[in-house]
Amino acid sequence: MVSSLKIDEKSGLIEGVRFVSSPNCDDRPPGCAIEVVVIHAISLPPGEFGGPDIERLFCNTLDCRSHPYYRELEGLKVSAHLLIRRDGAIVQFMPLQARAWHAGESCCEGRARVNDFSIGIELEGSDQSPFEDAQYRSLQLVIAAIMRAYPAVTPARVVGHADIAPGRKTDPGPFFDWVRLRRAL
C-alpha cells in the first residue's frame, strides 16, 4: 500500500498515477496560484459505477446516443484534474497547473471563477450512496500531496462542489464523510 504520493513540480503530474489526456483545460490566468481543492462526485450513467464513460466524457469521446441520460451531455466540455474510482484507483486528466473545467459558475471565499485557482477531484459516486474506504484513502493521499506542493491549499480550503455552487450543485452529497476527511488531513 502506498503511504504517500509525490507531485512532479515540473510536469504537474502525480507520480505513479495513470494519465489520460483531456482536451478540456487551458492555462490559468497569469499569476493565479492554486489555493483550493474542490471535491465532486460523478457516476455515468447516474447511479452506476465502473466502466469507461466518465473518462470518455472528460475526453470528449462519450457516445451520447449510448444511454438516454447522455443526450443532455451532448456537446458538454467538462473535466477534472483527477478521478478517484470506487476501488481507490486514481486517474489524472491534465497537469495540476492547468485550469480544468470542473467548477462552472461558482464562488469561493468571495471570488468567482473558481476554476482559475482550484484543483478539481471527482469521486466516482453519487448523492445516493456512501463512498468506499479505498476512495477516502486515495483522496487523503492526493490532498496531502497537493498541500505539500501548493501551500496555499489548507484543510479549510478543501470544499465540495455544493459549497461553491449552492443551489446549482449538490455533490459530493450527504453521504460524503467530511469529518473523516478532515481528521485524515
Q: What is the pLDDT of residues 78-137, one digit of tens each?
A: 999 999 999 999 999 999 999 999 999 999 999 999 999 999 999 999 999 999 999 999
pLDDT, residue 120, reads 98
Query: pLDDT digits over 138-168, tens only?
Result: 999 999 999 999 999 999 999 999 999 999 9
Query: pLDDT digits over 27-50, tens only?
Result: 999 999 999 999 999 999 999 999
Q: Which amino acid is at 11?
A: S
The answer to the question of residue 59 being in a domain is: no
The answer to the question of residue 41 being in a domain is: yes
pLDDT, residue 22, reads 98
Q: Are 8 and 148 in contact (CB under 8 A)?
A: no
The answer to the question of residue 38 being in a domain is: yes
- Known catalytic residue at 122: yes
Distance CA(57)–CA(101), nearest Å, equals 12
The answer to the question of residue 2 being in a domain is: no
The answer to the question of residue 58 being in a domain is: no
Q: Domain residues for 11?
A: 7-49+78-184
Which among 161, 45, 147 is positioned nearest to 102, based on CA atoms?
A: 161
pLDDT, residue 1, reads 62
pLDDT, residue 2, reads 75
Residue 36 bridge partners (DSSP): 118
pLDDT, residue 88, reads 98
Distance CA(100)–CA(93), nearest Å, equals 9
Domain count, the chain: 1
pLDDT, residue 19, reads 98
Given the residues 35, 122, 124, 132, select the one marked as catalytic. Answer: 122
The answer to the question of residue 122 being in a domain is: yes
The answer to the question of residue 68 being in a domain is: no
Q: What is the CATH number of the domain that holds 135?
A: 3.40.80.10
Residue 13 bridge partners (DSSP): 8
pLDDT, residue 139, reads 98
Read off the C-alpha cell for 38. Answer: 474542490
The answer to the question of residue 167 being in a domain is: yes
Q: Is the pLDDT of residue 182 over 70?
A: yes
pTM beyond 0.75: the answer is: yes
